[in-house]
Amino acid sequence: MDPVALDQVRLNFSPQGLMVINAAIGLMMLGVSLDLKLEDFKRILVSPRAPGIGLAAQFILLPAFTFILTLILRPHPSMALGMILVAACPGGNLSNIMTYLAKGNCAVSISMTAVSTVAAIIMTPLNLSLWGSLNPYTAEILRTVRLSPVDVFITVFVILGIPLIIGQVITRLFPGLADKVRRPFRIFALLFFVLIVCGALAANWQNFLQYVGLVVLGVFIHNFIALNIGYWSAHLAGLAEADKRAVCLEVGIQNSALGLVLVFNFFDGMGGMAILVAWWGIWHIIAGLAAAFILSRRPLPEISVAEAVDGRCR
């Protein structure tokens, strides 16, 4: 494969398309919010241990292990930088619905998503610059990465804050309505998001057919490691099973939409990075659903039910 030809590829992900994806994630967030109560967040405020461990796995362990993985696999430099970029991004909002499906602690998942997205203002460019410069294959193409705090705040507020507020208002003021629309809305939101992703894939079908074979194995291994970093770091810290599942999926489901925005804004849509991040965005849905299904088939221990009932998904 000619590296020059690879990096000249430009994927058909327009800013408008990314906005639609964020809107779809926001709808999913609203569906998850309908299942939460104010007590879920009070528990997080008085028990910050699980989110803290998850954030350490998200912003310290995952980027470090990704750096090691790029040295072992030695993919094309732009793809290696794409892997580092994905690891530097915060958790994706899709992790919230995956945690719901896995019968995990949704309050932990949502709190991690919110805090990690805000922390990404500093941690994403820091991790990308640090680990990208340490890898000799990516150092030459690494550029200075800057994230606008205002833009990040708006993104958090639109796709996380507004749906969360709306969901909580509906739940508190119209509990009967919330009970009626909770399940159908959640299904609609998930189907809508899948439709958006399939549309994005169709728009780039020829590029994926030609180049995605180069990234399939790397993304598979990378995502598998991310999921396991989340679960086993939580396990070693002695967290309840519902919290382990939330941390596992939060670390394993990355905000690939943010990654694509950064690729287009700061790396001119470099083909190797764009294809890897785009495939990550598709694969983590498949892997997340598979992980959620496997975890949901395992009953929660009685002690976890007793300890985490206030923070679990209903």
Summarised one tens digit per residue, pLDDT across range 36-69 is 666 656 666 777 888 889 999 999 999 999 999 9
Here the tokens at position 1 are: 């494969």
How far is the C-alpha of 233 from the C-alpha of 279, rounded, in Å?
Answer: 26
3-class DSSP state for residue 290? Answer: helix
Measured between alpha carbons, how far is 107 from 43 in angstroms, rounded to an integer?
8
Cβ atoms of 178 and 34 within 8 Å: the answer is: yes
Q: How confident is the model at residue 304 (pLDDT cuts 50, 70, 90)?
A: very low
Whole-angstrom CA distances from 118 to 9, 65, 91, 114 are 31, 22, 11, 6
Structural domains of the chain sorted by starting position, each given as residue range(s) with its CATH number in brackets? 14-308 (1.20.1530.20)
- Output the six-digit token pair for 5: 């030809």
pTM equals: 0.75
**More confidently predicted of 285 and 18:** 285
- Residue 256: pLDDT over 60: yes
Question: 255: left (phi > 0), else alpha (psi -120 to 50), else beta?
Answer: beta
DSSP 8-65: T------HHHHHHHHHHHHHHHHHHHTT--HHHHHHHHH--HHHHHHHHIIIIIHHHH
